[in-house]
Structures are given as C-alpha cells and as structure tokens.
C-alpha cells in the first residue's frame, strides 16, 4: 500500500483540478508536507490535474529542488559558485563528505542529514558559504563547517 497524502493536502490539490499550469506549485506543496515526491504522489497529482504521469515525472526530475527519495531532517547546502570555488569550497566539501560519510545528493543512514551542492546561493561576498536548514553561514573554514553541522545535530536534542 503506497503512503497516502494527508487529507488536507489532498483537498488542496483537488482545488487545483484541471489546472496543469499549477503543477510546479502543487509539487512544491507535496514536497513541503511529505519531504519528497513518491511515485504514488506523482500519480495522485497527475490524476487531479488531468495530465499524464509522464509529464509530472518529467517535471519532478527536471528541477533540482524536487526529490524522489526521503530526505534527512537537516539539509546542508554547500555553495559551489565561482566566488566560493575560488575561496576553497572544494575543501569544505571534502571535510563535510568525509565527516558525514556521504557524497552530495546523499542522506546519512539515520536520515539525519542530507548533503547537497548548489550552483550559487547569491551571498558571494561571504564566500565560501553554506546553508543549513535555511540559515546562511559565510566565510567558512572546513573545521567551522563541520562544527556547524554538528551543532545542528546537537540542538535536535
């Protein structure tokens, strides 16, 4: 039995019935609630918006911010923009990857942390930059980056 979307979310999606132009918005709402977009969610959305599942899946896989697997409780997004690249973002990535034992795009086994790289976070003057759960951290060193991630885990309690 595939997981069910909560009834409130189902109602919301039903409100977009036959408005395929709202697809990206709807998928965003699904992901906000469910954490990722499962095949069952894709099928439900396709049915409600009256479009083929292939189109839904095509959109889900086209955009970087849609996920098809469960996510960690915390998301660490490390900037790989030009300014960050020049400022040594690679070394921070190596430190985080080694510390967490995952490569970008992966989630730790205990579903605590998802590590991602992004093209540019637009805070270039503070390079190198990463965002942990929507909080920006700038002018990083590899040690600080690891410490910030550890702090996020400790605060979980």
Give the footprint of other proteins on residues 14-43 (CB under 8 A). Answer: 20-25, 27-28
Tell me the residue ranges of DSSP E strands in the chain: 74-79, 113-118, 130-132, 135-137
DSSP secondary structure, 88-100, as one string: THHHHHHHHHHHH
SS3 at position 81: coil
> For the window 126-145, what string marks contact with other proteins as x by the rule CB under 8 A?
xx-x----xxxxx---x---
Tell me the closest approach of the beta carbon of residue 4 to other proteins, in angstroms. Answer: 24
The answer to whether 147 contacts other proteins (rule: CB under 8 A) is no
Q: If you ran DSSP here, which 8-state letter would residue 37 be given?
A: -
Chain contacts with other proteins (rule: CB under 8 A): 20-25, 27-28, 55, 58-59, 62-66, 80-83, 85-86, 91, 94-95, 98, 118-127, 129, 134-138, 142
């Amino acid at each position: 039995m595939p997981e069910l979307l909560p009834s409130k979310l189902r109602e919301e999606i039903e409100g977009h019935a036959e408005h395929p132009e709202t697809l990206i918005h709807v998928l965003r709402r699904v992901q906000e609630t469910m954490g990722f977009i499962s095949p069952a969610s894709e099928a439900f959305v396709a049915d409600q918006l009256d479009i083929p599942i292939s189109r839904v899946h095509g959109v889900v896989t086209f955009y970087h911010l849609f996920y098809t697997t469960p996510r960690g409780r915390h998301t660490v997004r490390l900037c790989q923009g030009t300014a960050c690249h020049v400022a040594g973002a690679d070394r921070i990535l190596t430190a985080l990857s080694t510390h967490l034992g995952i490569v970008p795009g992966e989630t730790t086994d205990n579903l605590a942390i998802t590590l991602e790289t992004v093209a540019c976070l637009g805070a270039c003057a503070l390079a190198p930059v990463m965002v942990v759960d929507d909080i920006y951290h700038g002018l990083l060193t590899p040690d600080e980056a690891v410490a910030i991630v550890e702090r996020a885990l400790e605060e979980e309690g």
